[in-house]
Amino acid sequence: SQKIEQNSEALNIQEGKTATLTCNYTNYSPAYLQWYRQDPGRGPVFLLLIRENEKEKRKERLKVTFDTTLKQSLFHITASQPADSATYLCALTEGGKLIFGQGTELSVKP
């Protein structure tokens, strides 16, 4: 069956370190993979999109990699700050729809 998996356990890191979040998928062949940020009680906010023919994408302190052979995306936040604390969702495109992972909660401690 088709599945998207993100680290179910919360990730706790120290301010200034790099946070790395993982998104694995099975039985999909997405043309795009996206990352969203969601704060408690709010709607997700689009962060980055990476295409299947791209290996890496950067935006300020954010970096996303996409390995279609491993069926995995990694999401990095460098020089993390307490304001980066949120839940991060990966989403992939399938049949004109977005399929979301359940998200990983990131907590950055000062």
Residues that bind another protein (CB under 8 A): 31-32, 34, 41-46, 49, 89, 93, 96-98, 100-103
Burial class (CB in 10 A: 0-12, 13-18, 19+), 58: exposed
CB of 17 to another protein, least distance (A): 27
CB of 14 to another protein, least distance (A): 28
CB of 27 to another protein, least distance (A): 15
Nearer to another protein, 3 or 17 (CB): 3
Q: b vs e for 63-99, b when ≥16 Cβ sit within 10 Å of the residue's Cβ? A: bbbbebeebbbbbbbeebeeebbbbbbbbbbbeeeeb
Nearer to another protein, 68 or 100 (CB): 100
